[in-house]
Chain A
Amino acid sequence: MDSPGDKWVGQSLPRFEDAALLTGRGRYFDDCGTPPGTLHAAILRSPHGHARIEGIETAAARALPGVAAILTGEDIRATTTSLVVGVKAPMECWPIAVERVRYVGEPVVVVVATDRYVAEDALDLIEVRYAPLPAVTDPVAALAPAAPVLHDGLKGNLASERRFRYGDPEAAFAAAAHRVRIDVAYPRSACTPIECYGVLAEYDPGEDSYDVFANFQGPFSIHAVIARALRVPGNRLRLRTPPDSGGSFGVKQGVFPYIVLIAAAAKACGRPVKWVEDRLEHLAASSVATNRVTRLEAAVTADGIITALDWDQLEDCGAQLRAPEPATLYRMHGNMTGAYAIRNVAIRNRVVLTNKAPTGLNRGFGGPQVYFALERLVQRIAITLGLHPLDVIRLNLVPTAAMPYRTASGALLDSGDYATALETALRDGRHDELLRRRDAARAQGRHYGIGYTAVVEPSVSNMGYITAVLTPAERKRAGPKNGAQATATIQCDAVGSVSVHVASVPQGQGHRTVLAQVVADELGLRPQDIRVVTDIDTAKDAWSIASGNYASRFAPAVAGVARIAAQQLRARLTRIAAPLLNVPPEDVVLAGGKLHASGNADNALPFARVASSPHWAPGTLPAEDSAPLRETAWWTPPELTAPNESDEVNSSLCHGFIFDFCGVEVDRITGETRIDHYVTMHDCGTVLHPGMVAGQVTGGFAHALGAALYEAHSYADDGSLQTGTFADYLVPTAMEVPAPIILHHESPSPFTPLGAKGVGEGNCMSTPVCIANAVADALGLHDVTLPLLPATLAAHLHGAEPNAPAAAPKGERLLRGEGQARVNAPREQLWALLLDPDALMAIVPGAHGIQRTSPTDYTAEVTLGIGPVKGRYRVALALSDLDEPNALTLSGNAAGALGFGQGRGQVTLTDANGATIIAYRYEAAVGGKVASIAGRLLDGATRVVISQFFAALARQAAPQAPWWQRLLQRLGLRA
């Protein structure tokens, strides 16, 4: 296209970003080089879910050549201030453990060395003495009076509780024909970007200032949090971002505690310090979405109209409340009624702390948790009332005529025609055919189900919504917070070429292409003529607290403000050109790289000449237009007001609409869920770039499919992390993600400059519950828990197992086993062997330095290995319940770099015609690194180690063993 009158916006142009990204020329954090003298950090992390730090022995690590500094929590506490906590509660939030560890993966020691290899070698030489404490990982259990308390200042683990009431929910429930309730526990998942965190920090003592380069994504309100923690004013913290970022999905907001940590390390070293997070660190301790326990009840008329909702949400933010948490709980506050016109709402919100990684931003932020409850409830209402789920949705959708619609809890739904979008989706998504497919499958005895979901997708967050966690009185004292400042700067240089800068920090979404389209349309240029810069330097660029790339704000806010800046620039260009063209400014047209008179394309000036004229000939221009062309526009929507006295919150500016339906089949043998047909209808307002919108929807769908079928950030009851690698934290690949059918119904937003709304997160909200509803339909399930494990679904299909063995007690994570060995030696000999340290040293595989600390207690250094996996452990063994020579109990614990374990075994010796049968039963618990990254192998590995012990015992006890004969002689026994 190159003809004036057509618009670039709305076209799927090839992305300017792609040539570099697809040929390996992207400039990500780790591609950007380091200043001379840069040191490298590695972080020692907690293997325990909850423990007191009793001592940290760093001398051996300090002595390692190349190690520059070793910093513990005490060192960091001495030079920084606790990170701000978003609720009024007596708790601190450090970027590294101080006195106590509260989750697996929490930083304990930072080592700075000449390179990362040396730094990791030094980590191995540090000994931390932990006194393990009871851990609590379940949010409900964490509220129990006897639960271990994470933060002593809080007394319990409840960090915040607020109740809200809109309309008259009590009256609505009293009058309701039906009350339908659902209880759900939404699991933790994370968006796992390909590129992990990276921080490069330098401290300038002359200026008392920090220069930080990090792949932080915003919001830049966090700049204030970092500066405060580093004890400098904002103007002494320069924060820069790389040009490219390898995915974020919210997660790279969570790099900020590490910015504080690495900046503090740089100050301590007097050298630049770089840290790149590895995947093990990322999966254990970056930024995971909250898990939430929700009880939701609806008041429903006999016809199926929902008149009230009663929400009880218990939000689990992990071990700390890290800014901006508990925002996940409040992001949806204005639209807790979803796509429905429900006037009466009661909400109780509680925030609880548990021994799990702290939570933070992830695509969908708060939406998946809310809609899983709400849309499961809609299906339950349909079943309870004998209605079709579509009818319940249709009956309750916000009517088109009511737009813009103020929800009960304060959101202003900007635009939409939900009913038409729904019916269009059913028609164009071939719903009739889907019903026939289901019926045909069921007629063959297959398990086929259909799910439906209607949601609103909020975008452009109100920077004041999180203050709803405070009471109106507390808010009054703190001062109002609201708005969502966006900014763009456009300038023309000395040859009249155009550069655009926005404070957005994209992670591959294609912002530069869309901004070029938007600006090209306003200035009559081609997109390839526009140079767009999206990385941020807080020391030089225009930015504000809402800057960054989150809350799906790019299309509605950032692209919108770029248009405003372009319009400002255009106004100045037309004023400069008008006298030269002899027409009034309003008759100047910008098209085809020229400024010409309206109706006379021959009366024209090249764009470059006009745009460069203030540089070359300012004296020819009126004083007010003589400055070079550089326009910075600021935009914040007036609709985003602060929460009011009644706790009504317009939490987001835009509300897209999504209606999804899908058909799934559950395999009758394997219990696997196969998506047969998935339709997702979006109203995201004006579509700026159809290809990128399809990309956003497809990507969100893939993340959502992961949450529905595969992904769960999982902890054992003792606080051990069970999903420490991608072998256990299962992200769907191209092989698992089918292509959804994507449909659109455009209702431009009246509140944004381009009519666009956000679209990047919606499927993370709609898709998990849509799939869950379909599976519930397929199997006739009342309750569905994500992820939909084939083993769990298969249990419904297979029924009770024939002659099933006794199950282990529920929730217990002990490894159990038993075995026996036959030894050609009498029991007395074996007994003596077990009580002799020298003999034990020979028996315990890989033992050295065994010491007897009491007649029945031993300590040793032991090298244990399974295949190539080898590690050195400090082991303590104790013998008890001595019943010579029949039985004893062997108990012990081990700790080393790969993890820790404890166990006990009952050993019985039975005489068998002069030989002895040694029988043993054991139970063991293993935690730490090896449990996090090789959980699949723990059980078998434990068996190997224990059987190695008894095999060695049998070998050493056998009379033909020369060593044993010598030993027996030494012991004065007969061979």
Chain B
Amino acid sequence: MKPAKFDYVQAEALDEALATLRAEGEGARIIAGGQSLLPMLNMRLARPAVLVDIMHIAALAEATATTETLRIGAAVRQAALLARPSLHPLLAAALPWVGHAQTRSRGTLCGSVAHADPSAEIPLVLLALQGEILLRSARRARRVAATDFFTGMMQTARHEDEMIEAITIPQPRTGEGYAFREVGRRHGDFAIVACAAAAHATGVRLAIGGVADHPAARELPADSAQWDDALDAFAHALDARDDLHATATYRRQLVRKLGRQVMQEAAACRA
């Protein structure tokens, strides 16, 4: 379990990282906390020619909050964000489910978004809250809505020469309520089903992870009498599959039952 040879660039500035991405193309890979990428390197599942370490770029290590949004830089570690005195309640509820304390002390939020594992919590929260991903290449910068970013199993709208510079999450608004639940085999395991809900005056936005090959969200009506049918339709639309740890049926049932609980909880928090 030793990685194949690669070059390592410790970028001191964003421009340096972007220039390397541009020069190396698909052979380059950004490394931030390394909690997904390093095992893949060691198992030789991934063989980038160049690793670009962005953790020494001071500007990326900042999380800045305005009244409207929280902007989380690419080098902000999960543990650092979790340690902030005030945090969006949905993020605060979901972050402890990301891996383990040990992996959170290294892993970054943007790294998790870039990796786009279908069970990951951070992409799920981003989708539930309709956050944005700030992409930057040597040529340009652009913003992509979370709704458009996650396109498949570890597939995103990011181009080869782009890196995630930051993600932004809208701050909690009065009149909204949030809830998060996850079921995995053990503490810290990949979610079998993860549910994140944001309830507002006209409905509930429910995001589901671990079922489809990328996180998926739907706006559900505010009227709880319609939830069962809506959740059933959502459960079927996610195209659940069997794997070693759970059946497709189990996943759909959890979407129906846990989904309902999470929506209730979010709606109750609103009140």
B71 is an interface residue with CB less than 8 A from chain A: no
A670 on the B face (CB < 8 A): yes
- Given contacts A869-B45, A940-B152, A710 and B254 within 8 Å (CB-CB): no
The reply on A31 being an interface residue by CB < 8 A is no
Is residue B46 contacting chain A, with contact meaning CB distance below 8 A? yes
4 cross-chain pairs, A with B, having the tightest CB-CB distances, nearest first? A940-B153, A867-B154, A940-B213, A791-B250
Is B252 an interface position by the 8 A CB rule? yes
User: Which residue of the partner chain, among B2, B186, B236, contacts A120 with CB atoms under 8 Å?
Assistant: B2
Interface contacts beyond A798-B253, A870-B45: sample of 13 additional A-B pairs, CB < 8 Å, sorted by A:
A124-B4, A278-B1, A714-B244, A730-B245, A790-B183, A791-B192, A791-B246, A867-B153, A933-B45, A940-B118, A941-B154, A944-B152, A944-B155
In the complex, 24 of the A-B residue pairs with CB atoms within 8 angstroms, ordered by the A residue number, are: A116-B2, A117-B2, A120-B4, A120-B44, A121-B4, A121-B5, A669-B261, A670-B258, A710-B186, A727-B189, A728-B244, A728-B245, A730-B185, A733-B188, A735-B187, A791-B247, A795-B250, A803-B236, A805-B236, A868-B46, A868-B115, A870-B46, A943-B213, A947-B152
Q: Once bound together, how far apart are the Cα atoms of A869 and B261, in whole Å?
A: 36
Asked if B124 is an interface residue, CB under 8 A from chain A, the answer is no
Q: Does B178 contact A (CB under 8 A)?
A: no
> Would you call B213 and A790 a contact (CB within 8 A)?
no
* Contact (Cβ within 8 A) A124 B44: yes
Give the residue name and chain of the B residue nearest to A42 (CB): B2
Nearest residue (CB) in B for A731 is B186
Which residues on A sit within 8 Å (CB–CB) of B186? Answer: 710, 730, 732-733, 735-736
Q: Is A496 an interface residue (CB 8 A)?
A: no
Establish whether residues B153 and A866, one from each chain, have CB atoms under 8 Å apart when the complex forms: yes
Q: Roughly how many angstroms separate A790 CA and B244 CA in the complex, as a whole number?
A: 12
Interface size band for B: 35 or more
Q: In chain B between 168 and 209, which residues have their CB closer than 8 angstroms to a CB of chain A?
A: 183, 185-190, 192
Q: Please determine whether B45 and A943 come into contact, CB atoms closer than 8 angstroms.
A: no
- A934 interface contact, C-beta 8 A: yes
**Alpha-carbon gap, A733 to B187, bound state (A):** 8
**CB pair A791 B245 closer than 8 Å:** yes
Residue on A nearest B29 in the bound complex, by CB: A868
In the complex, what residues of B have CB within 8 A of residue A930's CB? 45
Q: Which B232-256 residues have C-beta < 8 A from chain A?
A: 232, 236, 241-250, 252-254
Please measure, in the bound complex, the distance between the C-alpha atom of A936 and the C-alpha atom of B244, giving whole angstroms. 8
Contact of B46 with A669 in the complex, beta carbons under 8 Å: no
CB distance from A791 to the nearest CB of B (A): 4
Q: Residue B116 at the A interface, CB < 8 A?
A: yes
CA A201 to CA B119, docked complex, whole Å: 44
Q: Is A789 positioned at the interface, with any CB of B under 8 Å from its CB?
A: yes
Interface of B is mostly: loop
Name, among B118, B189, B244, B247, the residue most crowded by chain A CB atoms within 10 Å (CB to CB). B244
- The answer to whether residues A735 and B189 also contact, given A802-B232, A866-B154 and a CB cut-off of 8 A, is no
Closest to B185 in A: A730
Using A710-B186, A933-B43 as known contacts, say yes or no to A794 and B152 having CB atoms under 8 A apart. no
Q: Check B257 for interface membership: any CB of A closer than 8 A.
A: yes
Task: Say yes or no: is B271 at the interface (Cβ < 8 Å to chain A).
Answer: no
Q: Which B residues have a C-beta under 8 Å from some C-beta of A? A: 1-2, 4-5, 29, 37, 40, 43-48, 115-116, 118-119, 152-155, 183, 185-190, 192, 213, 232, 236, 241-250, 252-254, 257-258, 261
With beta carbons under 8 angstroms apart, the residue of B190, B244, B248, B250 that contacts A671 is B250
Instruction: Decide if A669 touches B190 in the complex (CB within 8 Å).
Output: no
With A and B bound together, what is the CA distance between A722 and B188 in angstroms?
20
CA distance A807 to B250 in the complex (A): 13
With A120-B44, A124-B4, A280-B43 as given contacts, are A944 and B244 in contact (CB-CB < 8 Å)? no
Name A residues whose Cβ lies closer than 8 Å to a Cβ of B: 116-117, 120-121, 124, 278-280, 669-672, 710, 714, 722-723, 727-728, 730, 732-733, 735-736, 789-791, 794-795, 798, 801-805, 807-808, 866-871, 897-898, 929-930, 933-937, 939-941, 943-944, 947
B249 near A722: Cβ-Cβ < 8 Å: no
Are A934 and B45 in contact, with the CB atoms below 8 A? yes
For A938, give the chain B residue with the smallest CB separation: B243
B46 A936 Cβ-Cβ under 8 A = no
Q: Which of B5, B154, B188, B249 contacts A937 (CB 8 A)?
A: B154
Cβ contact of B153, chosen from A117, A279, A722, A944, cutoff 8 A:
A944
A727 and B190 form a contact (CB under 8 A)? yes
B187: chain A residues at CB < 8 Å are 733, 735-736
- Which of chain A's residues have a CB closer than 8 A to the CB of B261? 669
Nearest opposing residue in chain B for A723, CB measure = B244
Q: CB distance B154 to A898 under 8 Å? A: no
A801-B249, A940-B213 as given contacts; A722 in contact with B4, CB under 8 Å: no
CA distance A723 to B153 in the complex (A): 20
Is there contact, CB below 8 Å, between B47 and A870? yes
Residues on the A chain within 8 Å of B43, using CB: 280, 929, 933
CB neighbours (8 Å) of B46 from chain A are 868-870
Alpha-carbon separation in the docked complex, A933 to B244 (Å): 12
Q: Which of A120, A124, A736, A808 has the most CB of B within 10 A?
A: A120
Give the docked Cα–Cα distance between A866 and B115 (Å): 10
Pairwise interchain contact B257-A795, C-beta atoms closer than 8 A: no
Minimum CB–CB distance from B156 to chain A (whole Å) comes to 8
Question: Beyond A116-B2, A278-B1, is A867–B116 a contact (Cβ under 8 Å)?
Answer: yes
With A278-B1, A727-B190 known as contacts, the answer to whether A790 contacts B185 (CB < 8 A) is yes
Are B246 and A790 neighbours in the complex by a CB distance under 8 Å?
yes
Q: With CB as the reference atom, state the residue of chain A lying closest to B39.
A: A725
The reply to whether B232 and A669 form a contact with Cβ atoms under 8 Å apart is no
Give, as a whole number of angstroms, the nearest-CB distance from B130 to chain A: 24
Tell which of B1, B188, B254 touches A735, judged by Cβ atoms closer than 8 Å: B188
Residue of A nearest to B236 (CB): A805
| In the complex with contacts A710-B186, A735-B187, A943-B213, A801-B153 CB distance below 8 A | no
Smallest CB gap from B42: residue in A: A278
How far, in angstroms, from A116 to B2 measured CA to CA in the complex?
7
Question: In the complex, A929→B43 CA distance in Å?
Answer: 9
- State the CA gap A278–B39 with chains docked (Å): 12
Give the Cβ gap from A835 to chain B, nearest Cβ, in Å. 29
Q: Which residues of A contact B37 (CB under 8 A)?
A: 868
Q: Are B249 and A808 in contact (CB under 8 A)?
A: no
Known: A124-B44, A736-B187, A868-B46. A935 touches B153 (CB 8 A): no
For the complex formed, measure the closest distance between the CB of B97 and the CB atoms of chain A, giving whole angstroms. Answer: 12
Rounded to whole Å, the gap between the CB of B103 and the closest CB of chain A is 12
Task: From B153, B236, B245, B257, name the one whose CB has the most chain A CB atoms within 10 angstroms.
Answer: B153
Given the complex, which residues of A lie within 8 Å of B189, measured CB to CB? 727, 730
**Cα separation A257 to B250 with both chains bound (whole Å):** 42
Q: Which residue of B lies closest to A278 (CB)?
A: B1
Residue of A whose beta carbon sits closest to that of B232: A802
Measured between C-beta atoms, what is the minimum distance from A941 to chain B in Å? 6
Kindly list chain B residues whose C-beta atoms are within 8 Å of the C-beta of A722.
244
User: Are A936 and B243 CB-contacts (below 8 A) given A727-B190, A733-B186?
Assistant: yes
Is B250 in contact with A794, judged by CB distance below 8 angstroms?
Answer: yes
Considering the complex, give the chain B residue whose CB is closest to the CB of A866.
Answer: B154
Q: Is the CB of A867 within 8 A of B115?
A: yes
| Candidates B45, B152, B253; contact of A801 at CB < 8 Å | B253
**Residues in B whose Cβ lies below 8 Å from that of A794:** 250, 253
Q: Decide: A898 and B45 in contact? CB cutoff 8 A.
A: yes
User: Which of B40, B47, B185, B241 has most A Cβ within 10 Å?
Assistant: B185
Chain B residue with the shortest CB-CB distance to A119: B2
User: Given the known A-B contacts A794-B250, A941-B153, are A803 and B45 also in contact in the complex, defined by CB atoms under 8 Å?
Assistant: no
Report the Cα distance A439→B236, complex, angstroms: 38
Residue of A nearest to B241 (CB): A939
Chain B min CB distance to A13 (Å): 32
B5 surroundings in chain A (CB, below 8 A) = 117, 121
Query: What's the least CB distance linking A90 to chain B, in Å?
Result: 37
B253 adjacent to A803 (CB under 8 Å): no
Contact call A868/B213, Cβ cutoff below 8 A: no
Nearest chain A CB to B38's CB is how many angstroms away?
11
In the complex, chain A residues whose CB is within 8 Å of the CB of B119: 936
Min CB distance B81 to A, Å, is 22
- Tell whether, in the assembled complex, residue B1 and residue A279 are in contact, meaning their CB atoms are under 8 Å apart: yes
Task: Tell me which residues across on chain A come within 8 A of B44, comparing CB atoms.
Answer: 120, 124, 897-898
